[in-house]
Amino acid sequence: MAVELLRRLIEDEIKAQRRTNLVQARSFADMLAGAVDRYNRQAVSAVQVITELIELAKAMQAAHRRGDDLGLNADELAFYDALAANESAVQVMGDAQLAFLARELLQTVRRNATIDWSVQESARARMRIAVKRLLRQYGYPPDLQEGATKIVIEQAELLAGA
């Protein structure tokens, strides 16, 4: 009963986060699914899964505070997480430069977003070009740019829909 209650509370928080930060929501949803799956397969006891779920909830709270530590608002943090989804990019660029790039991306996305940009392919192409140009300009690792562009565009669509 306690496992189910905690699972539902965490799922609700993940749903709320999915509206603003796609990368974090996916990460936490995967962690939740893994913990619940291990419990359902009886690989861990109820006490162990409750402990895991409590730790997951604490990690979610820490993720919210992380934006303050980096000096980023919620929208900027969402783009930071999209850029930092690949750990090697964080190692190459560092947190400060990724935070600066996230701010620049948010401004670029807001500048280039038209009313129908997420539907009209030519507008989407302009947005992709603007994002790629910015990533290249600030030294985002070239081999990771395609994946980062895809995630940034998904996050931009989420931001536009909010």
pLDDT digits (tens, 9 = 90+) for 95-110: 889 999 999 999 988 8
pLDDT at 26: 92
Encode pLDDT of 111-132 as tens digits.
877 666 656 777 788 888 999 9
H helices present in the chain, as ranges: 2-18, 22-40, 46-70, 74-83, 87-93, 95-112, 121-137, 145-161
Examine the pLDDT at 20 and tell me if it is beyond 80. yes
Query: What is the C-alpha separation between 6 and 127, in angstroms, rounded?
Result: 40
Encode pLDDT of 45-104 as tens digits.
888 988 998 999 999 888 888 888 888 998 999 999 999 888 888 888 888 899 999 999
Q: Give just the sign of the alpha carbon dihedral 89, 35, 11, 50.
A: negative
- What is the domain partition of the chain in residue ranges? 2-67, 74-161
pTM of the model: 0.81
